[in-house]
Chains A and B, each alone.
Chain A
Amino acid sequence: MSNLIILCPLLIHLLFSILLMFAWRSLKWQKSLTIIGNSFALVASIWVFIFIYENGTQTVQSGNWEAPFGITFVADMLAATLVLLTCISGFAVAIFSVVSVIKARLKFGYFSVFHFLLMGLTGAFLTGDIFNLYVWFEIIIISSFVLISLGGERNQLEGAVKYFTLNILASMIFLTALGVLYGLTGTLNMADLSQKIVLLENQALVEICAVLFLVGFGIKSAVFPLYFWLPASYHTPPSAVSAIFAGLLTKVGVYALIRVFTLIFVGDLFLETLLISIAILSIFSGGIGALIQNNIRKVFSYLIICHIGFMIGGLGLFTSVAIAGTIFYLIHDIIVKTNLFLISGLIYRLRSTSSLKKLGGLYSEYPKISLLLAIPLFSLVGIPPLSGFWPKISLLLAGFERENYWFVGAVIFGSLITLVIIAKVWSEAFWKNPQPVKKWKNFVDFCELKHIQKAQLIFPIAFLSVVSLYIGFGAEHIQQLSERIAMELMDNQQYIDAVFKTRANAR
């Protein structure tokens, strides 16, 4: 049964989380263990990705209970790609945190919780059971609560309270929707739900249920009216933590939306209009919000909201071109957003401030590092041939195809405003003359670090930049991959057949 390997990345993260708990006392052991664990997970996820790429969708019926009675794990192309991206970001952030996160935080089991978070993410991508998705979501949020409040500084606790409340509320709404859905259909397996939900008479209740899912996942992915927790909390924890949050936590909400609205609630005109409207409003409010901020991490936080809009809009258009654009954007966004927050951490380390007013002169002092940082910054804008450019073609094409000019306008506006913001960040942080900054008492300046520590800060950013360069220059491959995923998503019969394969064979 070679399909069992799809759970490898998940099990590796769990194993290392346990091992790290045993190595509670020794920071040195923890640091080496986490790097080893993340490398193993990265290798395993590449293996899984290649396996799925060659053999198509694979399923594991956990406990050997046949679907729809047991919990099914399904690795289709989308799940495998996202697991791979999770492991790439996890690997980079783990190396970055070894130096950048202070000892007081590492001592309280930072790495163990970090692996737990990554396990939750891979589980959420792989599961084929909607209640199990809820459980993975809870694992994700409880580990993220620990990570966001670890350290207990003043503004960190404030951010944590806001983050905590809204995420709990989102989970409750998700659970409510799930209860209604179970009451309607009597099943929790997503493939089974997809078949049963079209047969229901009470379609109005199905619609209410879909909107509840939209609100629940919408809070998690920070779309237009529900995003206020994000800029209030993402700049408070250490930048390594915000990097993994920015790269993956909001995207897991987007993933859940994509999964639910392509598999279960399909082809509803009201929902499509709703998705496009919130997408347009997210792009506008995120973009304008980012424009007026002065803290570099807050600027990036608002940009997350702005770019979530692109993906939600692509989902709302619901053509295979649009979904391919969404998937491509998702792939690009996970890597580049993780990298952005790592960069903000590096800039803080170089200058001991993240206020745009006080920053400056980075280019004249550190020309090589600045050139490296230029790659992800301009990938985000999408200057051709860098990675952000290609998915926008698909999105615009789909917008014209569906004659939805509001969305076309919003995408163009979003791209332009991102360009303006990045140009502003570049000129303020890299070119302008710096202002004197009062340094923290036990702040260790970048120049005072050892060579190996410098390398540990630079390497993750370089690694992620190389990945984004590959996404940009190898756009042909990624485009093919996204088109394949879009095909699989639009034709959900394939997914259903894969889940019920054992049943079909038994006949």
Chain B
Amino acid sequence: MEILLAIVTGILYAAGIYMMLRRSLVKLILGIILLGNGVNLLIFLLGRITKGKPPIIPEEAKVFEELYADPVPQALILTAIVISFGLQAFAIILVKRAYKVLGTDDLDQLNTTDEDS
């Protein structure tokens, strides 16, 4: 399972970076989304995958008795998902505005900021 997840993480990273390096604005967003998912999966994987119970202590006990899953990576991933949700929503609107104003989705055409003025 861990090997499979590691391979999937690698593919997500590679695909994300590849998409970000393409010249199209839409592919740029797709790349950002893929990369974000890759990072989340990496955190999940590095938090060690355990087949355990949820980390909630039953009412009658004082401490954990059985093997339990680490809750912190899940909290981290949840936070990261929430943040990337906001960023991606912003990215889509930004790219749409940029496409409307600039009239192109080719990133190579975005070079007026480098012109001498």
Chain A contact residues, CB within 8 Å of chain B: 131, 135, 138, 141-142, 145-146, 149, 152-155, 157-162, 164-165, 168-169, 172, 175-176, 178-180, 182-183, 186, 188, 232-233, 235-236, 293-295, 355
Contacts and interface: CB of A to CB of B under 8 A. Distances in A.
Contacts of A131: 76, 79
B91 interface: yes
A294 B115 CA distance: 10
Of A131, A161, A164, A236, the most chain B CB neighbours within 10 A belong to: A161
13 contacts: A138-B83, A142-B83, A145-B87, A145-B90, A154-B101, A157-B94, A168-B91, A179-B39, A179-B43, A182-B43, A182-B46, A236-B113, A295-B117
By Cβ-Cβ distance, the 8 closest A-B pairs, closest first, are A183-B46, A179-B43, A157-B98, A158-B110, A138-B83, A232-B113, A175-B39, A179-B42
Interface string B86-102: 11001100110110011
Contacts of B43: 175, 178-179, 182
Contacts of A165: 20, 28, 32
Interface in B64-95: 70, 72-73, 76, 79-80, 83, 86-87, 90-91, 94-95
Contact of B117 (A135, A179, A232, A355): A355
Interface residues of B, number: 38
Interface of B: 20, 25, 28, 32, 35-36, 39, 42-43, 45-48, 70, 72-73, 76, 79-80, 83, 86-87, 90-91, 94-95, 97-98, 101-102, 107, 110-114, 116-117
A142 B110 contact: no
Contacts of A141: 87
B28 to A, nearest CB: 6
A162 B113 contact: yes
A142 B45 CA distance: 27
Nearest to A149: B94
B73 A294 contact: no
A111 to B, nearest CB: 19
Contacts of B73: 179, 182
A425 to B, nearest CB: 16
A225 to B, nearest CB: 16
A161 B107 CA distance: 9
B6 to A, nearest CB: 12
Given A175-B80, A176-B42, A179-B42, A154 B112 contact: yes
A380 B29 CA distance: 39
Nearest to B13: A176
A160 B98 contact: yes
Interface secondary structure of A, over-half rule: helix
B110 A162 contact: yes
Contacts of B101: 152-154, 157
B98 to A, nearest CB: 4
A161 B39 contact: no
Contact of B36 (A153, A162, A172): A172
Nearest to A148: B94
Contact of A188 (B25, B32, B72): B72
A32 B39 CA distance: 43
Contacts of A233: 113
B97 A182 contact: no
A152 B79 contact: no
A57 B10 CA distance: 42
A160 B28 CA distance: 14
Given A158-B102, A165-B28, A175-B80, A138 B87 contact: yes
Contacts of B48: 183
Given A172-B39, A183-B47, 20 more contacts: A131-B79, A138-B87, A141-B87, A142-B90, A149-B97, A153-B101, A157-B98, A158-B102, A161-B28, A161-B95, A168-B32, A175-B39, A176-B42, A178-B43, A179-B39, A179-B76, A180-B42, A183-B46, A183-B48, A295-B117
Contacts of A293: 116
Of A154, A159, A294, the most chain B CB neighbours within 10 A belong to: A154
Contacts of B95: 161
Contacts of B35: 169, 172
Of A155, A159, A232, A233, the most chain B CB neighbours within 10 A belong to: A155
A294 B117 contact: yes
